[in-house]
Amino acid sequence: MFTPENLVEAIKLFNDKIQENKNYLSELDTPIGDGDHGNNMARGLSAVMEATIEGSLFDEFKTIAMTLISKVGGASGPLYGTAMLEMAKASKETDDAETILRAGIAGIEKRGKATLGEKTMLDLWIPAVEAIKEGNLTSERLTTLTDETKDLVATKGRASYVGERSKGHIDPGAMSSNYFFQSLLEAGVLTHE
Ligand SMILES: Nc1ncnc2c1ncn2[C@@H]1O[C@H](COP(=O)(O)OP(=O)(O)O)[C@@H](O)[C@H]1O
Ligand SMILES: [Mg+2]
């Protein structure tokens, strides 16, 4: 379950991973995009770290959402931002991680009009949340899911411009989403009581 404390911890861990892997994320975005995913995410998470993340789960998610939406130029800012905004709304009703993350998926789907299998961050989010439901999300599973995006052909976002040639490359947004779910694991959000 989410608590205001473990959300702050998770977002700090997410920021650490994004800053550490900023160049790698931009490298992944080079053959199938415009090479800015690492910079976009790093700029957004730095701004989140400068903001005051406090109050209820709703307040925290909302501050994170608004910061990402306003500070990230690329497609990923509004996508992660909308996910966090929907998670804010869901957190008014429940602290259950699976339910809140499902609201995040709905936000990404609504904003990006993509579905499973289009080589986007949803190819990480959807099966990761399925695994949470089954109580078996691990970092190994996250790695497998991220690697599996290599086989997909992009039909949404900038990577769709290279079409078939997007095959063979990990989707950068799936990789950054891997770091997000890994951070939730490490912060204890997904631990069953
Ligand atoms: N329509 C969409 N729905 C879901 N995710 C998307 C969509 N378009 C792009 N993405 C995600 O955003 C990532 C690219 O983010 P980024 O490079 O920061 O933005 P941009 O594509 O504007 O340069 C992709 O790897 C993909 O995971
Ligand atoms: Mg890009």
Atom number in ligand 1 closest to CA 28: 25
CB distance 147 to ligand 1 below 6 Å: no
Tens-place pLDDT, residues 81-139: 999 999 999 999 999 999 999 999 999 999 999 999 999 999 999 999 999 999 999 99
Helix residue ranges per DSSP H, the chain: 4-20, 22-32, 37-50, 57-71, 76-90, 97-112, 122-133, 139-148, 172-186
Residue 170 pLDDT: 98
Provide the pLDDT confidence category of residue 26 given band limits of 50, 70 and 90. Answer: very high
CB distance 133 to ligand 1 below 6 Å: no
Tell me the CA distances in angstroms from 31 to 84, 168, 170, one per residue in order: 28, 10, 10
Residue 73 pLDDT: 81
CB distance 29 to ligand 1 below 6 Å: yes
Q: How far is the CA of 56 from the centre of ligand 1 (A)?
A: 29
CB distance 175 to ligand 1 below 6 Å: no
Backbone φ, ψ for residue 180 (5° rounding): -65, -50
CB distance 81 to ligand 1 below 6 Å: no
Residue 127 pLDDT: 98
| Average confidence score pLDDT of the chain | 96
Measured CA to CA, the distance from residue 119 to residue 65 in angstroms comes to 23
Q: How far is the CA of 74 from the centre of ligand 2 (A)?
A: 6
Confidence check: pLDDT of 165 > 70 = yes
Nearest to 24, CA basis, from 187, 182, 172 = 172
Confidence check: pLDDT of 193 > 60 = no
Residue 119 gets the label, from left (phi > 0), alpha (psi -120 to 50) or beta, of left
Q: How far is the CA of 27 from the centre of ligand 2 (A)?
A: 10
Residue 52 pLDDT: 94
Residue 105 pLDDT: 98
CB distance 82 to ligand 1 below 6 Å: no
Percent of the chain whose predicted confidence (pLDDT) is above 70: 99
AA identity, residue 34: D
Measured CA to CA, the distance from residue 164 to residue 166 in angstroms comes to 5
Shortest-distance Cα residue to atom 17 of ligand 1: 37
**Domains of the chain by start residue, with CATH:** 4-186 (1.25.40.340)
Residue 66 pLDDT: 97
- Please give the average per-residue pLDDT across 50-58, as a whole number: 97
